[in-house]
Amino acid sequence: MYDKHFGFTELPFSVTPDPRFLYNSQLYQEAFAVLRYGIEARKGFIVIAGEAGTGKTTLLRTLMHSLSSNVHTAFIFNPRLRFTELLRLTLTDLGIPVSTDNRLTMMGQLNDYLIEQVKSDDVVAVLIDEAQDLSDEMLEELRLLSNLETDKEKLLQIVLMGQPELEWKLDQPKLRQLKQRVAMRGRLLPLSRHEVGLYIASRLKTAGYGGSELFAAEAVEKVAGYSRGIPRLINVICDNALLIAYAASSKQVSGAMIEEVARDLRLAESAPVVKETPATTVAKPTAQPEARSRARRENAMLNDVAGFRATGRARSHRAARLAGGSVACLIVLIGIGAVFYSQQSTGALSDLTAKVEDFVGARSDRFVRAKPPTAASKRETSAAPNQRQTAAARGTSPSMRDSNQEVAVVPETSKPGDTQASQTPERSAEKPSPENAGQAPDKLKTAAKEPSEGAPHLTSRSEKLETKIHRAISNRAIRGVAVSVVDGTVYLAGQVATERQKAAAAQAARNVPGVKEVRDQITVDTGVGPAAPG
């Protein structure tokens, strides 16, 4: 063992929580004062939090050794218990014989004991280490246990000592009642850089070392960097470094030895490395494999905790992004619903369906070329006016053709002589509907015939303009309107459901480029039905 090599009376860097090796820094003195005052003044709940390895258990054991004889303590080091098991351990530590597992009986025994102690002015405290592992149900049971009190003071003092996760747990809304009962709080932080050297010197002195400087200044600086000021890691690094120095028959620990320990414990990846001058490499010792294996396991556990926390934060960020996306989708759906709901006209939903069907049909028609005219297509053309008038009477769009027809014409590419007879002004005005009676039918016929007889190129332009007007009216979900175009003048006929649809059809026609004038001969269906022709 290296204790004789360096002149130690005992090992200076053991990882056990020995109160004799407690380093009384300012933070430790403050935490110790909080604990002692909170217990002796009967404050109820006291919470001390600190990172793993900062000396919380050592502080508790030091407190137990320093309390006066009128303070009775029960120390719970394993928080993963059921409440009845915690009660049994508490009664056993307080010296109360337990002969049953009944919860009410044990609660009664504890209450009687507490009343006896308060009569003799004694204090009873339950010290719970690693309290961050207590379940929410157990914390709530402890809150109820703290209700054992008189009119003036608490009968039972409860100390919760744990890692920072304990504070996060107490911040939960469901534990707000317990949080309000916490009368005293303390915090243990890692040592600062300049305190690391003082900590090492304090432990060497307690172990009986009285020689020259054992750790070089460079080694102390590296210990501070790799340990991040956590006392447990300082002990592990220094213990392994002394073992390496002993194997090399050296009386001083160098910076190179600390570097070798950091590599063995895999600490170099998680702490900044202090630059140093090249040093002689020291052979790795083979003695004390148990101590080095224990140090490696402790360091791996610390790294696992850090990785778990980082994973939790990443999952929280992903969950937040997913929640934001869900909210955005919900807002879009609400907006679409509001637009649909705002349509006040009669039959808005059916008009929307017809509009979609018409739009899909128009898109498909744009990519289908007209077939050469045949005898059959000519016969179909001659029958088209009757079909067109029948569709207008039913209130359907002229652009909705029979699915059995073989000829589909692209309006933009139509030529004189193509089979687009169903779209010409002749058919639109050849047989006016009854509601158009008395509204200049002769004029409609004349206007429809003149372009086709004298100027075929004008007919082509009129057909294109008529198709655009049909689309503009259909885009407003209006059906039952027949369109004729002569020299830029648009004649609208047919029947619609409301006055607003009639006005919208006329406005849609006026908005089409190339329209000079719109003559509106559309009638409104009042629900009584069209008058019979005289």
The number of domains in the chain is 3
Could you tell me the pLDDT band of residue 392, with boundaries at 50, 70 and 90? Answer: very low
In this structure, the answer to whether residues 61 and 171 fall within a common structural domain is: yes
* Domain of residue 143, CATH code: 3.40.50.300
Mean pLDDT is lowest, of 124-133, 295-304, 519-528, for 295-304
Predicted confidence at residue 323, as pLDDT, reads 59
Which of 188, 205, 221 is at the close of a domain?
A: 188
In this structure, the answer to whether residues 115 and 220 fall within a common structural domain is: no
Could you tell me the pLDDT band of residue 85, with boundaries at 50, 70 and 90? Answer: very high
In this structure, the answer to whether residues 151 and 222 fall within a common structural domain is: no
In this structure, the answer to whether residues 279 and 155 fall within a common structural domain is: no
Residue 102 to residue 86: CA distance in whole angstroms: 13
- Domain for residue 486, yes or no? yes
Q: Per-residue pLDDT tens for 16-75?
A: 888 899 888 888 999 999 999 999 999 999 999 999 999 999 999 999 999 999 999 999
In this structure, the answer to whether residues 231 and 176 fall within a common structural domain is: no
Mean pLDDT is lowest, of 44-53, 78-87, 373-382, for 373-382
Q: Per-residue pLDDT tens for 484-505?
A: 888 888 888 888 888 888 888 8
The SS3 call for residue 106 is: helix
In this structure, the answer to whether residues 43 and 129 fall within a common structural domain is: yes
Residue 284 to residue 261: CA distance in whole angstroms: 9
- Domain for residue 35, yes or no? yes
Supply the DSSP symbol for 513.
T
Taking 50 as the threshold, does the pLDDT of residue 14 lie above it?
yes
Could you tell me the pLDDT band of residue 276, with boundaries at 50, 70 and 90? Answer: very low
Predicted confidence at residue 197, as pLDDT, reads 94
Could you tell me the pLDDT band of residue 417, with boundaries at 50, 70 and 90? Answer: very low
- Domain for residue 32, yes or no? yes
Predicted confidence at residue 398, as pLDDT, reads 41
Taking 80 as the threshold, does the pLDDT of residue 266 lie above it?
yes
Residue 142 to residue 178: CA distance in whole angstroms: 9
- Domain for residue 285, yes or no? yes
Taking 60 as the threshold, does the pLDDT of residue 148 lie above it?
yes
State the amino acid at position 376 in one-letter form: A
Could you tell me the pLDDT band of residue 326, with boundaries at 50, 70 and 90? Answer: low
Taking 60 as the threshold, does the pLDDT of residue 88 lie above it?
yes
Predicted confidence at residue 500, as pLDDT, reads 84
Predicted confidence at residue 89, as pLDDT, reads 93
Mean pLDDT is lowest, of 183-187, 389-393, 405-409, 415-419, for 405-409
- Domain for residue 47, yes or no? yes
Looking at every residue in the chain, the average pLDDT score rounds to 74
In this structure, the answer to whether residues 246 and 184 fall within a common structural domain is: no
Mean pLDDT is lowest, of 427-436, 456-465, 511-520, for 427-436
- Domain for residue 331, yes or no? no
**How confident is the model over 124-128, as a mean pLDDT?**
95
In this structure, the answer to whether residues 180 and 208 fall within a common structural domain is: no
Tokens representing residue 208 in the block: 């009986």
Predicted confidence at residue 377, as pLDDT, reads 43
Taking 80 as the threshold, does the pLDDT of residue 331 lie above it?
no
Residue 482 to residue 487: CA distance in whole angstroms: 17
Report the run of H or E that residue 231 belongs to, with start and end. helix 231-247
In this structure, the answer to whether residues 365 and 286 fall within a common structural domain is: no
Which of 138, 171, 188 is at the close of a domain?
A: 188
CB proximity list for 163: less than 8 A, separation 6 or greater: 49, 50, 51, 52, 130, 132
Taking 80 as the threshold, does the pLDDT of residue 87 lie above it?
yes
State the amino acid at position 333 in one-letter form: L
Predicted confidence at residue 228, as pLDDT, reads 93
In this structure, the answer to whether residues 101 and 226 fall within a common structural domain is: no
- Domain for residue 456, yes or no? yes
Could you tell me the pLDDT band of residue 352, with boundaries at 50, 70 and 90? Answer: very low
Taking 50 as the threshold, does the pLDDT of residue 396 lie above it?
no
Taking 90 as the threshold, does the pLDDT of residue 439 lie above it?
no
- Domain for residue 316, yes or no? no
Which of 132, 167, 188 is at the close of a domain?
A: 188
Predicted confidence at residue 330, as pLDDT, reads 72
Taking 60 as the threshold, does the pLDDT of residue 353 lie above it?
no
Taking 80 as the threshold, does the pLDDT of residue 153 lie above it?
yes
State the amino acid at position 533 in one-letter form: P
DSSP 26-45: HHHHHHHHHHHHHHHTT-SE
Threshold 0.85, pTM exceeds: no
- Percentage with pLDDT > 90 across the chain: 39
Within 10 angstroms of residue 130's Cβ, the number of other Cβ atoms is 19
Predicted confidence at residue 480, as pLDDT, reads 84
In this structure, the answer to whether residues 221 and 165 fall within a common structural domain is: no
- Residue 148 is part of which domain span? 24-188
In this structure, the answer to whether residues 231 and 181 fall within a common structural domain is: no
